[in-house]
Amino acid sequence: MAEHFKTLWSSVKDATYVSPETNLSTEAGFMSEMGFQDSDIMKQAFVLLQELVQQSNGSFISLILEDEDIKIFMNSLNQYEDFDNIPIDIRQRLHAVGRIISVCVNTSIASCNKVFESFFPLLMTYLGLSVAKPHENSCLAEDYNPPGRLNFGALYLCVEVLSACRYLVGSDELTPIPDFANQTWGVMLHNVSKSLAMVFISLLRSNVAENSQNAYVCYGVKGLQNLATFPGSLLAVSKSTYDSILLKLMSVVTSDINKTFLWTLAMNALVEIGSFLDKCPDSERLSSYESIVVEKIFSLISSDDSNMPLSLKLQAAFEIGATGMNFMLRVVQGLDEAISATLSAVYAHGNRKSVEPTVKLLEYYSNKVLPWFHKSGGSEEIPLNFALSIWDKIENNRSFNLDSLENELLDATMMAMKQAVGSCSEGSQEKIINKALGVLLSSNCLQWMESISGNTPSEAEGLQQIHKLDSFAIRDEWITSLFASIVIALRPQTYIQNGKFILQFFITTLLNGHVPSAQALGSLVNKLPLKITGTPLSKNLCLDEAVDMIFHSCIWTSYNGSTYERGSSEIDLSSLRLCSLSPESDKIHATIGLAWIGKGLLMRGHEKVKDITMTLLNCMISDGDRGSLPNSKHPSLVCNDEDLHHQLMKSAADAFHIIMSDSESCLNKRYHATIRPLYKQRFSNTVMPILSTLMLKYDSPSIRSMLCRAIAYVVSDTPLTAILSEAKKLIPLLLDCLSMMVEDIMNKEIIYSVLLVISGILVDKNGQDAVAENAHSIVNQLIELTTYPHMMVIRETAVQCLAAISELPYTRIYPLRTLVLRAMLKALDDPKWVVRQEAVRCRQAWASIASRSLHF
Amino acid sequence: MNSGLINANPIVYGKKERRARTAPVDVDEYAAEPIDQLEIFDHIRDIKDPEHPYSLEELKVITEDAIEVDDTKSHVRVAFTPTVEHCSMATVIGLCLRVKLMRCLPPRYKVDISVAPGTHATEAAVNKQLNDKERVAAALENPNLVDMVDECLAPSYE
């Protein structure tokens, strides 16, 4: 084998050094870097080289190290100082030599020694350092600036050598770390490490022009990262060097925020160092990292330092924290304190400037930190304490000095609360809800509740004053909203104390228009256990009781004023209307409540959802009830009555949207909802026949438009497979809906979803038969939609559907050809490019189904 | 008709990048996007040359710069460059261009097709033929010609 070494080496050299076939990697961000991508030949050449070096025990290495070309190249490195002046082929050679040397280094200790002996002093000289007498290196001075430009070739090779050494030492993970203090290369490295670190640090400091700066900066940071992540104890890199590296990187992160390239590199280096520490912990380094990096991050978050924008601070904090659990705990501590401080500022002093940072902090907490903890299996102490501390704060601030509700802040707090509660176990959730209940009971929320229970018709008018929103003070609304957030995120097994009271409370607040209460009610009925085993006197709430309570509440009384018996399963549907004596606005809020409650019941498959659906339908078609309302006593309500009535019908129709669609804010998997499979299909199968019979029955345009809305909402959220089986019956219905909804500009989203359903039917084979039967009406409606002025995607989808229709059997569609072509002529002139493109395709499709001339 | 090809060895250039569709979020719903050079070019770039399996763009018969569009005046002018001076396919290419643009643009547009000045021996005659409505209509009555045109236009509809 040995006799072939020479030939082998010359062929490897040919492939890599003499005529390398590397391609510049196409990452646009690093155009000035040495980002070369090796061709396959080169990759295999390097693999061969590694094998040879490993097997030859030193003889091959000597071949390489004594090679003339390599020597000449190394000696000529000082010609090319500036990175920009290095021509491409020299850069390629540099890359190849770098790879060759790193392969030699990381194969074995002996080879590493040899390489170091030959090349290292030379490299150091180019960098202006002395290996033999490290103490005399000028770079050890405090503000060292390299004279002139640093030799890039030497820098690059040096960094490559360092990473190869690191790889060599680190690869022997299981065997004890070899004592490389006695190895030649270990000694050399140890001597120079401090100076090297200083040189790298100075690179980060220099203020040269941007472009060429990038390459130097990149390799400077890489070198620092390699030094800092050197495995083994601090034999190679001393503690002071390590500290200075960390200090420099941190200072870049905190002060050089405008130099994004440098900032990102430094950030990534710190993250790498952190994860390395997490994998191979070392007590001394750990303490350095903690004191320098983590503490600084901690103080950053808590301070009001406006040098760094908050989002950058949070990003830095999260990335450093994500490297290890201990770091994250510290970061979370800092975040907790910051949130606590800003919230106090907002609550107690009404400081409006603190609102925005608080919102950011809370969003970061709920979107990044809490999911990270959940994923990494952290303990639930963090979310538990977070939730409890917020409630503490609310309890301690008896009066909020807020002028307005601060919706953004309230939303962010609710989201964070939901996330926190959702990731806790049952026991912690019980603690949270008990605490919150305590705060609720001691607040003012209840004073108007007592007057509402026992609602009789004669007191209705007196109650109307209490129903006004202004008396619902800001603090009370906050408490109610946050309490609702907790209930939304509970697990089904969590025990809820005072369940009946909570239920009644939510029913009352819901009538005031508080939507989160409605969502909370929905979540409750979704998750409550069906029956409680044990003593019947227990205070546990079970589902049947809850449903009874809701049905007997002031939401529902029979129109005639007589309530039905408690516990009877027969409910007279015709009398199931909303309490006709409360103001219409309350009815609107009640429909929203019913929608969420219905959704909760539907998702678990409870049969009472039928009653709710019936009530909603009655609301939609109740056109003639207005005469019976005692409006004469309230003249101010008369002129608004039609409007409100219309709104009531609309919100009943929109209730179907709430029931069918997926919501991000509650009743989903994240918040532990009970979901029975195929619930949407089941609902659709029950409701659609009723809706279509109602459509046939009623003539009044207002009722029909509401029914159309409801149908549209139900159909667009039903899975396509369920629709395809009913396609024949559904298509005429959908077309009616489309024609009714086109008149109102607010309907564009619904129109688009219905159009998507139709296009889904069109592309399916079974659906195409149904379409072919109704081809004429579909084409007419689609042509009308191609000129819909308010939404481009509707026009585009309509044209695409028309193009798809051209594939149907010729006998069905040829009568429509001229109609479509005429419509396409108009569509060719559409203001939007996308629609025009589709129109060209559609026109060609329709024109080619017949060989008649196109001029008509 | 010649039995051999007019230009047996055409120079083939590369294809330019296609325009990507902007994400719908950035689009202002009511802003009008007038028809521009690139759009016209997109319509005609894939037309196949009658003799070779290359597109007109690849043979650099048409370039984006040779197109003039004025949306407000509803006017398009295209100047194409035949590959050789004595190309007798010039009229067919011109006819393909005209038919394609007739089919792809709204009816209000006036289309002018001409040979780029100085690139063809009988430039004036070809231009006159291409812009005469009646001669174009008569050509489109000829089934052989229509077939050839459809064959050339087929790749541009994909």
Query: Does residue A133 belong to any structural domain of this protein?
Result: yes
Provide the residue range defining the domain that includes B130: 37-157
Question: Which residue has tokens 């809850």?
Answer: A546
Instruction: Reply yes or no on whether the pLDDT at A700 is more than 70.
Output: yes
CATH classification at residue A785 = 1.25.10.10
Confidence of residue A305 (pLDDT cuts 50, 70, 90): low
| In the predicted structure, residue A535 carries a pLDDT above the cut 60 | no
| Residues of chain B positioned with their CB less than 8 A from the CB of A843 | 103
User: Cα-flanking dihedrals φ and ψ of residue A403, to 5°?
Assistant: -75, -40
Mean pLDDT of the A52-70 span: 77
Span A450-459, average pLDDT: 42
Compare CB distances from A844 to B29, B107, B157 and report the shortest one's residue.
B157
CB contact under 8 A, A792 and B29: yes
CB atoms A793 and B24 under 8 Å? yes
Sequence-ordered alpha helix ranges (H) in A322-397? 325-349, 355-364, 370-376, 381-396
Q: Would you say residue A334 has pLDDT above 90? A: no
Contact B107 A854 (CB under 8 A): no
3-class SS of residue A121? helix
- Asked if residue A839 has pLDDT above 90, the reply is yes
More confident residue, A472 or A382: A382
pLDDT for res B4 = 62
Mean per-residue pLDDT, A169-196: 66
Which of A548, A546, A540, A555 lies closest to A523 in space, CA to CA? A546
Q: Which of B39, B104, B107 has its CB closest to that of A833?
A: B39
Give the lowest-confidence range in A250-259, A301-310, A573-582, B53-62: A573-582
- Residue A790: list chain B partners with CB under 8 A: 29
Contact yes or no for B105 and A834 at CB 8 A:
no
Q: What is the phi-psi region of residue A454: left when phi exceeds 0, alpha when psi lies from -120 to 50, beta otherwise?
A: left
Q: Is A181 part of the contact surface with chain B (CB cutoff 8 Å)?
A: no
Burial of A7 (0-12, 13-18, 19+ CB in 10 A): exposed
- Is pTM beyond 0.95? Reply is no
Lowest mean pLDDT among A516-525, A526-535, A557-566, A801-810: A557-566
- Sort out which chain A residues have CB atoms less than 8 A from B21's CB and list them: 834
A386 vs A384: CA distance, rounded Å: 5
The answer to whether the beta carbons of residues A620 and A653 sit under 8 Å apart is: yes
Q: Using the predicted structure, report yes or no on whether residue A84 has a pLDDT greater than 70.
A: no
Q: A-chain residues within 8 Å CB-CB of B27?
A: 792, 832
Contact list in B for residue A844 (CB cut-off 8 A) is 103, 157
Q: Is the pLDDT of residue A515 over 70?
A: yes
The whole-number average pLDDT for the span A524-545 is 71
Residue A459 has pLDDT above 60, yes or no: no
Q: Which long-range contacts (CB under 8 A, 24 or more apart) does A280-284 make?
A: A280/A231, A282/A233, A282/A234, A284/A234, A284/A239
Asked whether the predicted pLDDT for residue A338 surpasses 80, the reply is: yes
The answer to whether the CB of A339 falls within 8 A of the CB of A290 is: no
DSSP state of B49: P
Residue B27, domain member (yes or no):
no
A856 near B CB under 8 A: no
Quick one: how many helices (H) and strands (E) in chain B? 5, 3
- The reported pLDDT for the residue numbered A289 is 83
Assess A841–B contact: CB distance below 8 Å, yes or no.
yes
CA distance A833 to chain B (A): 6
Consecutive H or E run containing A216: helix A210-228
Alpha helical stretches, state H, A556-678: 584-604, 609-621, 635-660
CB contact under 8 A, B104 and A840: yes
> Are A844 and B103 in contact (CB < 8 Å)?
yes
- Asked if B32 lies within 8 A of A847 by C-beta distance, the reply is no
Q: Say if B14 falls within a structural domain.
A: no
* Chain centroid to CA A459: 49
Does A539 or B7 have the greater pLDDT score?
A: B7
- In a mutational test of the B interface, the residue from A796, A828, A835 whose CB has the highest number of chain B CBs within 10 Å is A828
Q: Of A793, A828, A841, which is closest to B105 when you measure between CB atoms?
A: A828
The domain spanning residue B80 has which CATH number? 3.30.300.130
Residues A648, A662: Cα–Cα separation, whole Å:
23
Cα atoms in the 13 Å half-sphere on the side-chain side of B105: 29
| Element of type H or E holding A52 | helix A40-56
CA distance A831 to chain B (A): 5
Please return the burial class of A547, using the count of CB atoms within 10 Å of its CB with bins 0-12, 13-18 and 19+: middle
**Window from A49-58, A163-172, A552-561 with minimum mean pLDDT:** A552-561
Domain that holds residue A171: 1-205
Last residue of a domain, one of A205, A220, A247: A205
Q: What percent of chain A has pLDDT over 70?
A: 80
Mean pLDDT across chain A? 78
Those residues with Cβ within 8 angstroms of residue A504's Cβ, 6 or more apart along the chain or in another chain? A449, A453, A549, A553
Name beta bridge partners: B67: B78
Residues 6 or more apart whose Cβ sits within 8 Å of residue A169: A177, A178, A180, A230, A231, A232
CB within 8 Å: B157 and A828: no
- Which chain A residue has the Cα nearest residue B28? A792
Contact (CB<8Å) A790/B107: no
Using a 10 angstrom Cβ sphere, with 0-12 exposed, 13-18 middle and 19 or more buried, the burial of residue A50 is middle
Chain B interface residues (partner A, CB cutoff 8 A): 21, 24, 27, 29, 31-33, 35, 39, 43, 103-108, 157
Nearest CA-CA distance, residue A825 and chain B, Å: 6
Tell me which of A567 and A774 has the higher pLDDT.
A774
Domain count, chain B: 1
Condensed to tens digits (0 to 9), the pLDDT of residues A482-510 reads: 999 999 999 888 888 888 888 888 888 88
On whether the CB atoms of residues A465 and A387 are closer than 8 A, the answer is no
Q: Does A851 touch chain B (CB under 8 A)?
A: no
Structure tokens at A358: 């608080």
Contact A836 B29 (CB under 8 A): no
| Nearest chain B Cα distance for residue A832, angstroms | 5
| pLDDT > 80? residue A560 | no
What average pLDDT score do residues A633-655 get?
69
pLDDT digits (tens, 9 = 90+) for B119-158: 888 889 999 999 998 999 999 899 899 889 988 998 888 7
A854 in contact with B, Cβ within 8 Å: yes
Which span out of A37-41, A143-147, A570-574 was modeled with the highest average pLDDT?
A37-41
Residue B31's pLDDT band (cuts 50, 70, 90): confident
- Euclidean distance between CA atoms A196 and A189, whole angstroms: 9
Q: Is the confidence at residue A783, as pLDDT, over 90?
A: yes
Mutate to test the interface with A, among B44, B104, B140, B146 (most CBs of A within 10 A): B104
What gap in Å lies between CA A457 and CA A460, rounded to an integer?
Answer: 5
Measured between beta carbons, the chain A residues lying within 8 angstroms of B29 are 790-792
pLDDT at A461: 39
Q: Please, which residues 810-829 of chain A have a Cβ atom closer than 8 Å to chain B?
A: 825-826, 828-829
Judge contact between B130 and B141, C-beta under 8 A: no
Q: Closest partner residue to A791 among B29, B32, B157, by Cβ?
A: B29
∠ CA(A531), CA(A535), CA(A540), 5° rounding?
55
Q: Do A840 and B108 touch (CB under 8 A)?
A: no
Cα A236 to Cα A598: distance, rounded to the nearest angstrom: 68
Tokens representing A411 are 């939303």
Closest Cβ–Cβ partner in A828, A834, A843 for B21: A834
A717-720: long-range contacts, CB 8 A cutoff, minimum separation 24: A717/A657, A717/A660, A717/A661, A717/A662, A717/A680, A717/A753, A718/A660, A718/A680, A718/A681, A718/A684, A719/A680, A719/A681, A720/A757, A720/A760, A720/A761, A720/A764
Q: Give the percent of chain B with pLDDT over 90.
A: 41
> CA–CA separation, A632 vs A843, rounded Å?
61
Beta bridge mates, A15: none
Is a pLDDT exceeding 90 seen at residue A822?
A: yes
Indicate if the pLDDT at residue A757 is higher than 90.
Answer: yes
Number of domains in chain A: 2
Q: Which residues of B touch A835 (CB under 8 A)?
A: none
Q: Are A219 and A155 in contact (CB under 8 A)?
A: yes
Q: What is the pLDDT of residue A567?
A: 33
Q: What confidence tier does A9 reach under pLDDT thresholds 50, 70, 90?
A: confident
Q: Which residue do the tokens 């350095």 mark?
A: A288
Task: Tell me which chain A residue has its CA closest to the CA of residue B34.
Answer: A831
Which residue from A793, A831, A847 is facing B32, i.e. has the nearest CB? A831
Which segment, A178-187, A338-347, A397-406, is predicted with the most confidence on average?
A: A338-347
Whole-number Å distance between alpha carbons of A802 and A849: 13
Cα A474 to Cα A388, A403, A451, A469: the distances in Å are 20, 9, 20, 10
pLDDT greater than 70 at residue A121: yes
CB contact under 8 A, B105 and A790: no
Contact flag A840-B39 (C-beta cutoff 8 Å): no
Q: Which residue has the higher pLDDT, A717 or B20?
A: A717
Lowest model confidence (mean pLDDT) among A120-129, A170-179, A197-206, A836-845? A170-179
**Closest C-alpha among A345, A439, A445 to residue A391:** A439
Q: Give whichever of A152-161, A457-466, A626-635 has the largest mean pLDDT.
A: A152-161
Search chain B and give the residue with CA nearest A791.
B29
Chain A, chain B: beta-carbon pairs less than 8 Å apart: 35
Which residue on chain B is closest to A837 by alpha carbon? B104
Cα end-to-end span (Å), chain B: 31
The shortest CB-CB distance from B157 to any of A790, A792, A841 is to: A841
B40 within 8 A of B76, measured Cβ to Cβ: yes
Q: How far apart are CA A358 and CA A345, in angstroms?
A: 10
User: Under an 8 A CB cutoff, do A843 and B107 touch?
Assistant: no
- Within A742-856, residue ranges assigned H as helices are 748-763, 765-773, 775-785, 792-805, 810-813, 817-827, 833-847
Query: Other C-beta atoms within 10 Å of A374: how many?
Result: 15
Closest residue on chain B to A845 (Cα): B157
For an interface test with A, the pick among B43, B103, B146, B147 (most A C-beta atoms closer than 10 Å) comes out as: B103
Q: Tell whether the torsion through CA atoms of A153, A156, A160 and A162 is positive or negative.
A: positive
Mutate to test the interface with A, among B25, B26, B27, B136 (most CBs of A within 10 A): B27
Tally the C-alpha atoms within 13 A of residue A224's C-alpha that lie toward its C-beta: 31
| Residue B132 counted as domain residue | yes
pLDDT in tens, B96-129: 999 999 999 999 999 999 999 988 888 899 999 9
Where helices occur in B105-142 by DSSP H, the ranges are 123-130, 133-141
Q: Which residues of A touch B108 (CB under 8 A)?
A: 829
- Show residues of chain A in contact with B24, CB under 8 Å: 792-793
From B36, which residue of chain A is nearest by alpha-carbon distance? A833
